[in-house]
């Protein structure tokens, strides 16, 4: 037993050291500094937060919209995951890649896409007005709760598709068939066999989606409008606008404890159900679409996914290729012409600005940071997932497991300020260091990596390892021939998440990046914050280029099937 603890401790060493230096230390510094500014004592801001009606309203709304968003995301994601897990069809790789693109898009750009589609003069409203001869746009979408929910589904469905879909694709369908033979109907199989087996992956995905929605900032601000505020928005307002740091710190702590509560709940739920499974190669689990029922389901599901996840992006790409002047007329009667002017302009440093970057170098900066994030997140995530999967019940794991999720639930404003006071002076002077950005991205990506890997690693039956060892395999061979084939796919999912999280991250990046090396989202934001058709058009064009790179990148990852389970 003692030996096992030592192994765990060893595995935890690097991830814990990283979190201690780059998460707990800055967070602790900013929280204690903020609270020490409170004139009425450290507890006063907490009392103020808890007693305030408006804060309570904010908390209620934050939880309510997060629950609703998570449910809707599962509602779309689970059938989608089933389709991707059980059937093989043409264009599946492309579909998977496309559904991942939303994850990398900055909120401001996504909002532009939604407004091109559903705004008062967006394509759909204009079409409906012309079709039915209406005086006013019939659909009011922006600045509603619906916009928040749709945007959350848009962003997070890929989490369910990937995490649940990949796990599902390795589940042995014969288990369900056996149940059917024994007289269970379809729903009973789903309810009694499939869902219980899938639950580790479902819980993990739902937890991540929930925390993302719970700490939502850009979507609430830009698409939800001024009538909605989450805790994260309130923390931003208290910090930046009012400089009420003690109250902001109390709210941050509140948000953190909610995250911690959710994670502990998750750990308890998933601790009960995780059991080693015999995972199958996808060769044995996937079939073709044969019956008309299957085809109809596939067709409907693909259409639904494409409509919800890609039309806003297509609308955006469409706008980047048309002259914007055409939008001038309220009736939309002037057909906008096609143009590449915005793309051409991106390559010109017209104002000879020092901080100008070509679109390719902005994408290059993004890719460099993303690669560093993938490496860092995997190096830290692998041992942590390993430790977690070998023995969930060990006291060390039980304490550390919930802590891993905390960075995701931490307010970006708070942590950003924490970086400044904690990491700006010797011995750790990272003020102008290009490492800050991938470090911040890794904090967000790390929980994803761990959560993607753990269900797969847990499913490795110890017997397999023992058998291999008994048959004379060295530990290295066990990893190579047993562990890796089984977790290979999950590793790929983890890497994809780290990659896309890094490419799309804007909040922390804008606080930490060097002005000479803006990432693509930062460069897009710079263009978007200036008046003039050329600036707006260029922002749309650069977003479209980013989108294309993300799609191609994800297609490449799809093709790049390492250590497929089929090897054994």
Partner 1 sequence: MYPKIIFHITFYALLFTALAACTPPTTPEPVEVAPAAPQKLTVMTHDSFAISEDVLASFQQEYNIEVQFLEAGDTGSAVNKAALAKGKPLADVFYGVDNTFLSRALDEGIFEAYQSPLLAEIPDDFELDPQHRALPVDYGDVCLNYEVAYFQERNLAPPENLEDLLKPEYAGLLVVENPATSSPGLAFLFATIGYFGEAGYLDFWQGLVENDVEVVNDWETAYYTEFSQWGGARPIVVSYGSSPPFEMIFAEQPLDEPPTAAVTGAGSCFRQIEFVGILAGAPNRALAEKWVDYMLSPTFQEDIPLQMYVFPVNPNAELDETFEKYLAIPEKPAFLTPADIAARREQWIKDWTETVLR
DSSP-assigned states of every residue in 526-541: HHHTS-SHHHHHHHHH
263 versus 513: smaller Cβ distance to partner 1: 513
Distance from C-alpha of 332 to C-alpha of 329, rounded to nearest angstrom: 5
Residues 20-59 touching partner 1, rule: CB under 8 A, are 30, 33
Residues 461-500 touching partner 1, rule: CB under 8 A, are 476, 479-480, 484, 488, 491, 495
Q: Which of 28, 41, 261, 330 binds partner 1 (CB under 8 A)?
A: 330
Burial 364-395 (b: 16+ CB within 10 A, else e): ebbbbbbebbbebbbebbbbbbbbbbbbbebe
How far CA 142 is from CA of 151, 217, 530, in Å, comes to: 11, 16, 22
For position 548 contacting partner 1 by CB under 8 A, the verdict is no
The CB-of-195 to partner 1 minimum distance in angstroms stands at: 30
Distance from C-alpha of 482 to C-alpha of 468, rounded to nearest angstrom: 8
For position 367 contacting partner 1 by CB under 8 A, the verdict is yes
x-or-dash pattern for partner 1, window 190-229, by CB under 8 A?
-------------------------------xx--xxx--
How far out from the chain centre does Cα 491 lie?
16
For position 251 contacting partner 1 by CB under 8 A, the verdict is no
For position 320 contacting partner 1 by CB under 8 A, the verdict is no
Residues 406-425 touching partner 1, rule: CB under 8 A, are 413, 416-417, 420-421, 424-425
Q: Which of 171, 279, 313, 365 binds partner 1 (CB under 8 A)?
A: 365
43 versus 240: smaller Cβ distance to partner 1: 240
For position 372 contacting partner 1 by CB under 8 A, the verdict is yes
350-359 own/partner pairs: CB under 8 Å, 24+ apart? 354/516, 355/515, 355/516, 355/518, 357/516, 357/517, 357/518, 357/523, 359/520, 359/523, 359/541, 359/542, 359/545
For position 358 contacting partner 1 by CB under 8 A, the verdict is yes
The CB-of-421 to partner 1 minimum distance in angstroms stands at: 5
Instruction: Name the β-bridge partners of 87.
Output: 287
Stretch that binds partner 1, among 8-16, 43-51, 399-407, 534-542 (CB under 8 A): 534-542
Residues 252-281 touching partner 1, rule: CB under 8 A, are none
At which residue do the structure tokens 């407004």 appear? 115
How far out from the chain centre does Cα 413 lie?
18
Distance from C-alpha of 437 to C-alpha of 508, rounded to nearest angstrom: 8
Q: At what angle do helices 145-168 and 92-100 cross, to 10 degrees?
A: 140
157 versus 410: smaller Cβ distance to partner 1: 410
Residues 423-462 touching partner 1, rule: CB under 8 A, are 424-425, 431-432
| Collapsed DSSP state (helix, strand, coil) of residue 347 | coil
Distance from C-alpha of 495 to C-alpha of 492, rounded to nearest angstrom: 5
For position 323 contacting partner 1 by CB under 8 A, the verdict is yes
3 versus 353: smaller Cβ distance to partner 1: 353
Residues 133-162 touching partner 1, rule: CB under 8 A, are 137, 142-143
Q: Which of 90, 131, 132, 243 binds partner 1 (CB under 8 A)?
A: 243
Q: Judged by CB under 8 A, how many residues of this single chain contact partner 1? A: 94
Task: Specify whether the CB–CB gap between 49 and 254 falls below 8 A.
Answer: yes
For position 19 contacting partner 1 by CB under 8 A, the verdict is no
Residues 72-111 touching partner 1, rule: CB under 8 A, are 108, 111
Residues 500-519 touching partner 1, rule: CB under 8 A, are 510-511, 513-517
The CB-of-551 to partner 1 minimum distance in angstroms stands at: 16
The CB-of-278 to partner 1 minimum distance in angstroms stands at: 22
* C-beta atoms surrounding 25 within 10 Å: 16
């Amino acid at each position: 037993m003692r030996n096992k603890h030592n192994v765990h401790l060893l595995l935890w060493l690097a991830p814990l050291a990283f979190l201690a230096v780059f998460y707990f230390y800055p967070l602790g510094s900013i929280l204690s500094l903020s609270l020490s500014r409170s004139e009425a004592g450290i507890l006063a801001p907490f009392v103020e937060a808890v007693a305030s009606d408006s804060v309570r309203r904010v908390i209620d709304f934050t939880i309510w919209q997060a629950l609703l968003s998570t449910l809707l995301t599962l509602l779309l994601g689970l059938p989608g995951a089933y389709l991707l897990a059980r059937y093989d069809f043409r264009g599946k790789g492309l579909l998977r890649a496309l559904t991942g693109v939303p994850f990398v898009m900055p909120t401001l750009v996504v909002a532009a896409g939604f407004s091109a589609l559903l705004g008062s003069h967006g394509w759909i409203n204009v079409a409906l007005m012309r079709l039915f001869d209406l005086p006013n746009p019939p659909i009011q979408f922006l600045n509603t709760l619906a916009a928040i929910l749709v945007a959350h589904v848009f962003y997070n469905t890929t989490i369910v598709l990937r995490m649940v879909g990949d796990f599902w694709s390795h589940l042995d369908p014969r288990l369900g068939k056996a149940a059917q033979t024994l007289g269970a109907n379809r729903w009973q199989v789903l309810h009694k066999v499939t869902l219980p087996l899938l639950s580790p992956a479902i819980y993990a995905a739902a937890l991540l989606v929930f925390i993302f929605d719970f700490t939502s900032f850009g979507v609430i601000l830009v698409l939800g409008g001024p009538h909605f505020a989450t805790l994260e928005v309130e923390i931003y307002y208290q910090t930046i606008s009012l400089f009420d740091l003690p109250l902001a710190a109390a709210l941050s702590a509140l948000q953190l404890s909610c995250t911690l509560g959710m994670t502990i709940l998750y750990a308890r739920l998933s601790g009960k159900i995780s059991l080693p499974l015999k995972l199958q190669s996808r060769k044995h689990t996937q079939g073709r679409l044969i019956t008309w029922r299957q085809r109809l389901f596939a067709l409907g599901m693909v259409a639904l996914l494409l409509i919800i996840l890609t039309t806003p992006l297509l609308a955006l790409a469409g706008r980047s290729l048309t002259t914007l002047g055409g939008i001038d007329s309220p009736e939309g009667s002037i057909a906008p012409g096609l143009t590449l002017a915005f793309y051409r302009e991106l390559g010109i440093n017209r104002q000879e600005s020092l901080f100008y970057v070509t679109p390719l170098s902005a994408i290059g900066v993004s890719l460099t940071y993303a690669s560093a994030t993938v490496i860092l997140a995997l190096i830290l995530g692998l041992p942590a997932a390993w430790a977690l999967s070998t023995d969930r019940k060990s006291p060390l794991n039980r304490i550390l497991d919930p802590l891993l999720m905390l960075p995701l639930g931490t307010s970006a404003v708070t942590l950003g300020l924490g970086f400044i006071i904690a990491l700006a002076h010797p011995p750790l002077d990272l003020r102008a260091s290009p490492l800050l950005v991938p470090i911040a991205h890794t904090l967000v990506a790390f929980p994803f990596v761990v959560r993607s890997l753990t269900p797969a690693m847990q499913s490795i039956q110890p017997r397999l390892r023992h058998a291999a060892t008994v048959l004379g395999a060295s530990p290295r061979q066990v990893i190579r021939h047993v562990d890796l084939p089984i977790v290979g796919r999950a590793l790929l999912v983890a890497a994809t998440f780290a990659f896309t999280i890094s490419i799309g991250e804007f909040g922390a990046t804008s606080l930490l990046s060097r002005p000479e090396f803006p990432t693509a989202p930062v460069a897009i934001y710079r263009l978007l914050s200036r008046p003039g058709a050329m600036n707006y058009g260029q922002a749309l064009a650069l977003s479209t280029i980013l989108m294309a790179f993300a799609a191609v990148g994800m297609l490449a990852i799809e093709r790049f099937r390492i250590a497929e389970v089929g090897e054994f």
